[in-house]
Homo-oligomer: A and B are copies of this chain.
Amino acid sequence: MSLKDEKITRRGGRSARRTARINAPIVHHPALVPKVPVYEVANAEGVEQIHELAMRIVEEIGVDFRDTESLEFWRRTDAEISGERVRVGRDTLMDLVAKTPSEYVHHGRNPERTVAVGGRSMVVSPSYGPPFILDFEGVRRHATLDDLNNLQKLNHMASSVHIAGGPIVEPVDTPVPHRHLHMAYSAFKYSDKPIIGNVTAGERAEDTVEMCKIVFGDAFATNNCCTTSLINSNSPLVWDATMLDALKVYAANNHAVMCSPFSMAAASTPASNVGTMAVVTAEALMAIAFAQLVRPGSPMLFGVPAMTVALNTGAPVHGSPDSAIVQFLAGQMARRYKVPHRAIANCATSKTPDMQAAYDSMWGLFPSFLAGAQWITMAGGMVEGTLGLSYAKTVIDFEQVDAFYHFCQGCCFDDLDEIFETVKEVGPGGHFLGAAHTRRSNLFIFPSQNNVSWEQWDLDGRKDSAQVGLDKARTWLERYEEPEIDPVLDEALLEFVRKRESEIPARLD
C-alpha cells in the first residue's frame, strides 16, 4: 500500500468513525440516581434558623393570595385572612405541606420515558419561556412555532434531558390565546417524553389537561401526573390570580406544579442569601400548602431561580455566587420539608454564546447537580437572562448536562484488583493505552470539545464553540427521527387544537 493509499484509508477511517458517531442511535438515559453525596452550605442549625424566619414571615407578615376563590380555600383552615393577606400558623402550614408527596411519577406518552421525580431520582427539563432566539444565521429575532418545534426535536435527542417542553421558546408568531394548544401539541408530537404544562390562564391549563385526556385517557389524566408546570410568585409574598388559577387546575387533576418564587435578591427579596431563602421558603410553602387544600397529595416542587439584581444598573443577573448559595440552601430546605427540589441549571446574563455565558451557566449547573435537585430546569441554550435562547448554546449545554450525569456516577471501587494488576503489568514508565482495563473504560469526552492540535484546528477553520454548536444543532435536526405516534391519536390532538382555535378568539379584546 502506498503512502497515498494509506492516507486515503486513514481519512476514510476517520470520516467513517465520524459518520458512525453521528448515526449512532439516540440514547435516552433513565432518571439520574446519583452516587455522589449532596453538598450543603449551611449546617442543621442554619436550616432551622431559615425555617424559623420563614415561619415568622407566614405567621406575622403573611402572604397575599390575590384571588377570591383561593381565599375561600384558605377559609377552610384556621388561617387569619385580612383582605388578600393570609397569615397561617406553622402547625397548620406544616400539616398541609406534609401531604405533598416526596416522590411521584411523571408519565410520558411513551411509558419508557416515564420518570420518578423526588427521592433519589433526579430529572432534567428544557429551557423555559424566552421570547427571542439566536437563530442559525446568528440573528436575534422573535422565536416562532418552527423554532419551538426544532427545539422539541433537539431536546428529544438530548440523552440526559428527561422532559419535553413547554415553552422552550415562546412561539411569538402564534396568537397568545392559541399558543398553549400548539405548545402541548408540539411536545406530544415531536417528543415522547413527559411534558410541561401551560400556566398563562386557568382555561389554558384546562385545555392542556384535555389534551392529556386524549393521550392518556380521561380517568388516568385526571388522577395521575401527566404534566409538570411552573408558577412564579410575584415576590415578595404575592401569588396572583393567573398563577393560582393554573395551580388549581393542575392540582385538582393531580398534576405536578413547581412553585418558583421570582426572587431577585436586593429587589424582590432581601439582599442576603439567608434572607432571600427565608422569603422564598415562605412563598413556596404557602403555595404548596394551598395545593393540598385543592387536592390533598397533589405533587408540588420547591425551588427558586435565585437571581440577584445589579445595583449599578437595576438589571436582574443570572449566574452568580450568591445565587449558587441560595440554590444549595433551597436543596437543604426542600429536604427539610420532604418536597422534591427544583433547581435551575442554566441561565446566562450574557447576550451571546460566549465565555461569560458558559461561566454564568456553570454557576447554575454545578449547584443544581451537587445540591441533588430532583428536578433541574433550563437544560440548555439560555442567554440574555431569561429572554433569549441560542441554538448553538442549546446543544453545547446538553453536553454539559451529560457530563454532570456522568459525574454523578461518582467513584468506581469495583475493579481494585484489576487496577492493581494492570499497574503492575504496565509498571513504572509504561503506559495504559493498550491495557484491557483501559479498553473497557468509560471516561467522559465532550463531543464538541476540540482536542486536536492547534495546527489541525487552524486547518479545520478555527471554529469556536458557538460555531461548533450551530453545526451540531443543524446536524441533529437532519438526523432527528420522530418518535412513533399513533396516527389516530395525532389526528385527535390536531382536531382538538383546531376545535379550540375556532372557539377561542385569536385576539384578546
List A residues at the B interface (Cβ < 8 Å): 17, 36-37, 39-42, 46, 49, 53, 56-57, 60-64, 85, 132, 140, 234, 236-238, 265-275, 278-279, 308-317, 319-322, 324-325, 329, 349-363, 365-366, 370, 384, 387-388, 393, 396, 400, 403-404, 406-407, 410-413, 415-416, 419-420, 422-424, 426-433, 435, 437-438, 440-441, 443-446, 448-454, 457, 462, 464-466, 468-469
Docked-complex contact B238 and A428, CB < 8 angstroms = yes
- Give the contacting residue for A420; candidates B57, B238, B362; CB below 8 A: B57
For A467, the closest partner residue in chain B by CB is B354
Docked-complex contact B314 and A433, CB < 8 angstroms = yes
Docked-complex contact A449 and B236, CB < 8 angstroms = no
Given A370-B39, A449-B317, CB of A49 within 8 Å of CB of B410 = no
Docked-complex contact A428 and B355, CB < 8 angstroms = no
Docked-complex contact B61 and A321, CB < 8 angstroms = no
Docked-complex contact B324 and A354, CB < 8 angstroms = no
- Give the contacting residue for A358; candidates B17, B356, B415, B438; CB below 8 A: B356
Given A49-B413, A366-B362, CB of A355 within 8 Å of CB of B465 = yes
A384 / chain B contacts, CB cutoff of 8 Å? 454
Give chain B nearest CB distance to A380 CB in angstroms: 12
Given A39-B39, A310-B445, CB of A428 within 8 Å of CB of B61 = yes
Give chain B nearest CB distance to A385 CB in angstroms: 8
Docked-complex contact B273 and A412, CB < 8 angstroms = yes
Give chain B nearest CB distance to A455 CB in angstroms: 10
| Most chain B C-beta atoms within 10 Å of own C-beta, residue among A60, A411, A427, A454 | A411
For A452, the closest partner residue in chain B by CB is B313
Docked-complex contact B407 and A325, CB < 8 angstroms = yes
Docked-complex contact B236 and A428, CB < 8 angstroms = yes
Docked-complex contact B268 and A449, CB < 8 angstroms = no
Give chain B nearest CB distance to A305 CB in angstroms: 15
Give chain B nearest CB distance to A438 CB in angstroms: 4
| Most chain B C-beta atoms within 10 Å of own C-beta, residue among A354, A435, A446 | A354
Given A311-B441, A366-B366, CB of A419 within 8 Å of CB of B274 = yes
Given A356-B449, A446-B356, A449-B360, CB of A41 within 8 Å of CB of B427 = no
A426 / chain B contacts, CB cutoff of 8 Å? 236
For A360, the closest partner residue in chain B by CB is B449
Docked-complex contact B61 and A451, CB < 8 angstroms = no
For A237, the closest partner residue in chain B by CB is B428
Given A53-B416, A57-B420, CB of A443 within 8 Å of CB of B265 = yes
| Complex CA distance for A462 and B138, rounded to whole angstroms | 12
Docked-complex contact A271 and B60, CB < 8 angstroms = no
Docked-complex contact B353 and A321, CB < 8 angstroms = no
A350 / chain B contacts, CB cutoff of 8 Å? 449-450, 464-465
| Complex CA distance for A286 and B51, rounded to whole angstroms | 49
Docked-complex contact B268 and A236, CB < 8 angstroms = no
For A362, the closest partner residue in chain B by CB is B362
For A440, the closest partner residue in chain B by CB is B271
For A320, the closest partner residue in chain B by CB is B444
A269 / chain B contacts, CB cutoff of 8 Å? 432
| Complex CA distance for A49 and B61, rounded to whole angstroms | 53
- Give the contacting residue for A324; candidates B308, B325, B407, B424; CB below 8 A: B407
Docked-complex contact B407 and A449, CB < 8 angstroms = no
| Complex CA distance for A435 and B236, rounded to whole angstroms | 14
Docked-complex contact B356 and A237, CB < 8 angstroms = no
| Complex CA distance for A63 and B427, rounded to whole angstroms | 9
Docked-complex contact A423 and B356, CB < 8 angstroms = no
A268 / chain B contacts, CB cutoff of 8 Å? 431-432
| Complex CA distance for A435 and B270, rounded to whole angstroms | 9
Given A53-B420, A322-B444, A451-B349, CB of A396 within 8 Å of CB of B355 = yes
A351 / chain B contacts, CB cutoff of 8 Å? 450, 454, 457, 462
Give chain B nearest CB distance to A463 CB in angstroms: 9
A435 / chain B contacts, CB cutoff of 8 Å? 270-271
| Complex CA distance for A433 and B235, rounded to whole angstroms | 13
Give chain B nearest CB distance to A356 CB in angstroms: 4
Given A317-B449, A321-B444, CB of A428 within 8 Å of CB of B359 = no
- Give the contacting residue for A272; candidates B237, B265, B360, B419; CB below 8 A: B419
12 contacts between A and B (CB under 8 A): A39-B39, A236-B431, A267-B433, A270-B435, A273-B411, A312-B445, A313-B452, A315-B451, A321-B403, A321-B404, A355-B355, A355-B465
